[in-house]
Amino acid sequence: MNTATAAAQYHDAVQVARSATPELDEESTSWLRRLASAGLAERQTAERELHDRLVRIALAEIRRRSASTPVTGPELDDVAHQAAGDAMLAILAKLAEFRGESRFITWAYRFVILEVSSKLGRHYWRNPPVTLDAAQWERLPDRLGLDPHQYAEAAGILAQVRYVVDTELTEHQRRIFIAVVVDGIPLNALADKLDLQRNAIYKVVFDARRKIRRALVAKGYLDESAAGQL
Amino acid sequence: MNEREMLEQFLRTDPRDVGCSEAMAVLHVYVDLVVAGQDAADRYPGVAAHLAACGPCGDDFAGLMAAVTSEQPQA
């Protein structure tokens, strides 16, 4: 980054932050000033410091998620460093968009947490416990958290759920619902596989749940009284 | 909880739910409010509804909370 760009970026970042939050805390102001400093040495020192913290947070986050990820051993370090590097690039590119609505470091850490989340989602497909379109309907009771002794009693209403899924959802809704709910594929992993945003997957499942519920109420399997959100 | 109640709970949707994109866009603000002991759910009810319903976003929220609080001075 050249000096003029850095100075302009600093000016924008600080002005935006000050206009949004007149009482921007000292630490946040310091980060903004140093990361967009016209002085190369000061800027590089701040970037190194922030990068080190992002790596540390990424490592901690991957460890926190270790039970639900197939990534292990030295590869965890690789993912953490990749996440921190990508987060760093995004933070520097969006520095002027920081509005001072939170502490700067919280805003910065959000980038690395979301990077870790996304990267681990991609790794799911290297050794997936279930393939796309497996449609393991026999696993549905377990997915819903039913105890084995409830399976027999639940069989009738779950057969109705399957009937509604087969007959009332669109093909796209059906595929997404089965992948996420029946087969238990994580949203991030499915979003990566289908090249969709996580929000798009969530919205499809959200709409499918409403549709299924409405159908089950209409058939008398669920109570109308609890149908306030229909 | 019987099977109907569990299914009912699973199919229930909250109309205030803002979805993943909007929730993630203000996650840092939400987390700072929680850390400061303020009522983040009252200020952002749609975000609170989403974080309660969406596992991945709830996990991202937990991760950012853990990151921020790991650097808080111990009381």
* Model confidence pLDDT, tens digit, residues A180-198: 999 989 999 999 999 999 9
Residue A116 and residue B15: Cβ atoms within 8 Å? no
Domain count, chain B: 1
Task: Kindly state whether B52 is in contact with chain A, defined as any CB-CB distance less than 8 angstroms.
Answer: no
Residue B3 and residue A150: Cβ atoms within 8 Å? yes
Task: Kindly state whether A109 is in contact with chain B, defined as any CB-CB distance less than 8 angstroms.
Answer: yes
Give chain B's count of helices (H) and strands (E): 6, 0
The correct answer on CATH 1.10.3930 for the domain covering A137-226 is no
Find the closest chain B residue to A109 by CA distance. B64
Of A44-48, A94-98, A212-216, B5-9, least confident by mean pLDDT is: B5-9
- Ordered DSSP codes for A153-172: HHHHHHHHHHHHHHHHS-HH
Task: Kindly state whether B55 is in contact with chain A, defined as any CB-CB distance less than 8 angstroms.
Answer: yes
CA dist A153 and A141 (Å) reads 11
- On whether residue B43 sits in a domain, the answer given is yes
Residue A230 has pLDDT above 50, yes or no: no
- On whether residue B22 sits in a domain, the answer given is yes
Residue A186: strand, helix, or coil: coil
Whole-model pTM: value is 0.85
Task: Kindly state whether B43 is in contact with chain A, defined as any CB-CB distance less than 8 angstroms.
Answer: no
CA-based Rg of chain A, rounded to a whole angstrom? 24
Contact A32, A95 (CB under 8 A): yes
Contact A174, A165 (CB under 8 A): yes
Residue B60 and residue A186: Cβ atoms within 8 Å? no
Task: Kindly state whether B72 is in contact with chain A, defined as any CB-CB distance less than 8 angstroms.
Answer: no
Q: How many CA atoms lie within 13 A of A85 on its CB side?
A: 7
CA dist B13 and A228 (Å) reads 9
Residue A157 and residue B4: Cβ atoms within 8 Å? yes
Range of the domain at B20: 15-69
Q: Would you kindly state where each structural domain of chain A is located, as residue ranges?
A: 3-126, 137-226
pLDDT one-digit tens code per residue, A10-20: 555 555 555 55
Within 10 angstroms of residue A37's Cβ, the number of other Cβ atoms is: 20
pLDDT one-digit tens code per residue, A133-187: 778 888 888 888 888 888 877 888 889 999 999 999 999 999 999 999 999 899 9
